[in-house]
Structure 1
Amino acid sequence: MNPLVLICSEDAEFYLLFSHILKVDGFASELVGGFEEAVRQSTDREPHAVVLDCRPASTTGPAICAKLKGELQIPAPPVVALIAPGAEEQHLNLVKAGIDESFVRPFAPAKLLTYLRAALEMSRPASHGSGDSKPLICGDLEVRLASHRVRCNGQQIHLGPIEFNLLRHLIENGGKVCSRDELIRAAWPDNIYVDARTVDVHIARLRKALKTVHTAA
């Protein structure tokens, strides 16, 4: 089955164009309309990624991203925003909401496809025979590399692929101060540009996930 990408847009022509581009590259796509439908489909369909067509002055994109990343008890898919040039405030709201990646129009569709392919590879569990490999242990944390599962005090923590890679690197390098450049090399594919603010967002998201579990325990 082809990996599914949900496209949240009110522009039918935009959807037809990008659904064709995605189809040629081996992805399936589905159009979702407003806030409630986007959240419901993300929960029910478990898509590979969600693409937000963010129009100027629209608040829907940040709201959808915040809902998926912060409130739903599901493994959140990567969320990508396509924003208008000059929409600095909208971009800041998306970053605060936990957006995984954003592209400013006009942009080459190949950049979006490259990101989606990289995210798909990161979300695939490694093959290690029939069982999981020996887990990484750090205090109450148990990280299983083959199945990409994280547990704390017996409770499962849902992490996105970037957060999982960051946690793995930090545990494997316990006691060492890791620079942002080192974290980028450890958690992101080589062909993806990542700035310092993006690293800070994902680190904050990882801390929040871990803190939530410790607070509930």
Structure 2
Amino acid sequence: MKPLVLICSQDREFYLTYGHILEADVFTKELADGVEDALKLAVEREPKAVLLDCQPASATGSNIFAQLKGDPRTGGLPVIALIGPGAEKQHIDLLKAGIDDSFVRPIDPAKLLDCLRAKLALAKPGSNGIANGRLLRCGSLEMNVDARRVHANGHDIHLGPLQFKLLQHLLETPGKMFSRFELKSAAWGEKIHIGERTIDVHISRIRKELKRTSAGCVIRTIRSDGYSVEEADAEPEPDGE
């Protein structure tokens, strides 16, 4: 499955141009034309990265970035801004706000693709992918931390950036119970405030992927205080909280 990149722009020519660049490589794309649309699609479609169109006379791009980074469900998404000529101040403001990367247009398409590949730890065309990397295992599940890939029984497990961080933290120490606070700090950082329900929703989505691929490991709820991951036994793990 090709990695999905969400293109946030109100300029049809921008979308067609950069959408073609992405799809000529290993990516697929989807359009978001406003703040609400961008946040909605980022949650529902779980893209791997966001490409942000920042025009000199518009604050839309900056507003989308602020919404994405401020929402705990999408705060881990890499966001790359393409700044229009003459918007140097906007460029500086985005850098101060913590944009993952930004470029002033025009930009060499190869440079943009290299940036996306680096953010998502994807191999360059013609290579055999990332052969080595730190591996975490549980049952038949294998996570390549450096390549940011998870698979089990020959099936890829598709996780959003936050879900990847949650599962990675659990897999670092199989069998250990991590509190919701510890998991929140690992995935969102200590400065982001979210409710316990948000963590439960992400854990539920991970569980569904583990079940779908018969991964041979389960995420268990420990006395409603937290979660642990361990190899599955004969009893199936319920998709509870």
Compute the TM-score of the two structures, normalised by the length of structure 2: 0.55
Kindly indicate whether the alpha-carbon contact (under 8 Å) linking 1:83 and 1:105 is maintained by their aligned counterparts in 2: yes
Q: How far is 1:9 from its partner? A: 1.2
Residue 145 of structure 1 deviates from its aligned partner by 8.5
Q: Which residue of structure 2 aligns with residue 174 of structure 1?
A: none
Judged with a 3 Å threshold, the aligned counterparts in structure 2 of structure 1 residues 63 and 96 are, in CA distance, closer, same or farther, namely farther
3-state SS in 1 of match to 2:138:
coil
1:9 match: 9
Please point out which of 129, 134, 137 is paired with 1:129. 137
One-letter code aligned to 1:24: A
Structure 2 residue matching 1:25: 3-state secondary structure: coil
Instruction: Assess, with a 3 A threshold, how the Cα gap between structure 1 residues 74 and 8 changes in structure 2: closer, same or farther.
Output: closer
Q: 1:72 to 1:23 in 2, by over 3 A?
A: same
The aligned runs of 1:161-180 (5 Å cut-off) are none
Mapping for residues 51-200 of structure 1, pairs under 5 Å: 51-121=51-121, 126-130=134-138, 147-149=167-169, 153-155=179-181, 156-157=183-184
Q: How many residues align?
A: 157
Answer whether contact 1:23 1:29 (CA < 8 A) is retained. Answer: yes
Map residues 31-42 of structure 1 onto 2, 5 A cutoff: 31-42=31-42
> Counting strand residues as a fraction of each chain, which structure ranks higher?
2
Considering fraction of residues, name the structure with more helix. Answer: 1
Tell me, yes or no, if the aligned pair for 1:7 and 1:32 is still in contact at 8 Å: yes
Q: Counterpart amino acid of 1:129?
A: R
* Shift of residue 211, structure 1, vs aligned partner: 3.7
The CA distance in 1 between the partners of 2:67 and 2:87, in whole Å, is 21
Shift of 1:47: 0.4
**Could you tell me which amino acid in structure 2 is paired with residue 77 of structure 1?**
L
**Structure 1 residues 13 and 26: CA distance shift in structure 2, 3 A:** same
CA contact (8 A) 1:62 1:97 kept: no
Distance 1:145 1:98, change over 3 A: closer
1:152 positional shift: 7.6
Whole-angstrom distance in 2 between the partners of 1:159 and 1:14: 36
CA contact (8 A) 1:53 1:81 kept: yes
Task: Indicate the residue corresponding to 2:190 in structure 1.
Answer: 210
Unaligned segments of structure 1, at least 5 residues: 134-143, 161-205
- When normalised by structure 1's length, the TM-score is 0.61
Identity %: 47
Q: 1:211 to 1:20 in 2, by over 3 A?
A: closer
